[in-house]
Structure 1
């Protein structure tokens, strides 16, 4: 039995279409992989590359993203409080994004070096970035919440969960203070240089 010419032509067209579809699928998969690779934040410090395992937070990370070390390594009491608050804020259509959370000492040191370069001195940089030895981020005891609607919501409601803004100049920086649940948050420091924990 022989296959006539139209059948062979149709068969060739199907094979070409299948090959083209496979090429397109492979290109799409490669594109997604490259996009995800490029989306991982990293900071180059001399020959050391600091990234997500060191506490860098990819864009769009929420307080529920356990696969991100900067979230997963937060102090359990802080993480529980911020997740309870985020769940309640979600009912108001507000999402708690994490700009920063737990960090390694190496990552904190790289941020401090960047701040010194940006602000011109260690003294001025200290208003924004603590040393690795003093930073509550390195201890997993601080979280920086992203987006203005979330920080406004926390400013109004955070104390109910024991979440307090610590510094006037950092409306995104929250720490867990269980006593705030019944007594409210303590007065804020103007910036970290006024915080007794940062002295000495």
Structure 2
């Protein structure tokens, strides 16, 4: 005859409540940790130009919005990262003065032999884009007078006329400072090592003396 085994003891109902409460506490802790991690991740993915705005001279490259009716994009001359002087798909390049663009492309072709590429931070700009940059400069520097050292008005800007280009990366501006005159490409303002214009006479006589900044340029005071 098999011995009679005692029936398992039923766990007290209170025990199950303790387990349920414990699980809820653990799940709440995990949810809080994941939420904190997600917030930190979203902050780290924010573009650096949002948290650290560029100087007006370091031209923004992305589409910018300030409010209804105040929107500029690639059609106004804004350029994304990686645009070169050969990228005709972007108005900032395609709408440059054809003689300036030809000189830039010849220089860029020769610079490529030295491992240097000519990236465009800004080229042609629409009046709306130029006005936007000027407003940003006034906001940053606190006055129209100080802002004028960096950004011209839409009516006087050589960018709006398609006769100026801002070249990105220091190796390219260094190359141009040494060889640009051979192509008629000259730095114009002492405070803007990236701003180049075409001076055809520079091929024979070298580039003219630099203006301290745009406020010293007679063309910006018209």
* TM-score bracket for this pair, using the shorter chain length: 0.7 to 0.9
Q: Which residue of 2 aligns with 1:46?
A: 67
User: 2:190, 2:66 → 1: CA distance?
Assistant: 30
Corresponding position of 1:87: 109
Q: Give the alignment partner of residue 140 of structure 1, picking from 155, 162, 178.
A: 162
State the alpha-carbon separation in 2 of the partners of residues 86 and 138 from structure 1: 23
1:75 aligns with one of 65, 85, 97: 97
Q: Over the residues paired in the alignment, what is the CA RMSD in angstroms?
A: 0.9
Is the counterpart of residue 100 in structure 1 residue 112 in structure 2? no
Distance 1:157 1:130 in 2: 27
What CA deviation, in whole Å up to 9, does each residue of 1:84-139 have, x standing for no partner? Answer: 00000000000000000000000000000000001110000000000000000000
**Of 119-128 and 41-50, the range deviating more from structure 2:** 41-50
Q: Which one has a larger percent helix, Structure 1 or Structure 2?
A: 1
Name 1:63's counterpart in structure 2. 85
Cα shift at 1:72: 0.4
CA distance in 2, matches of 1:80, 1:43: 30
Q: Does 1:197 align with 2:219?
A: yes
The aligned residue for residue 165 of structure 1 is 187
- The match for 1:125 is 147
Task: After TM superposition, give the deviation of residue 166 of structure 1 in Å.
Answer: 0.2
Shift of 1:41: 1.5
Instruction: Name the CA distance, whole Å, in 1 between partners of 2:181 and 2:133.
Output: 29
Partner of 1:33: none
Corresponding pairs, count: 161
Structure 1 unaligned spans of 5+: 1-39
The structural deviation recorded for 1:45 is: 3.4
**Secondary structure at 2:167's aligned position in 1?**
strand
**1:39-76 deviation line (CA, Å, top 9, x unaligned):** x8211133132000000011110000000110000000
When normalised by structure 1's length, the TM-score is 0.79
Unaligned runs of 5+ in 2: 1-60
Q: 2:210 aligns with which of 185, 188, 195?
A: 188
* Cα offset, 1:187, TM superposition: 0.1
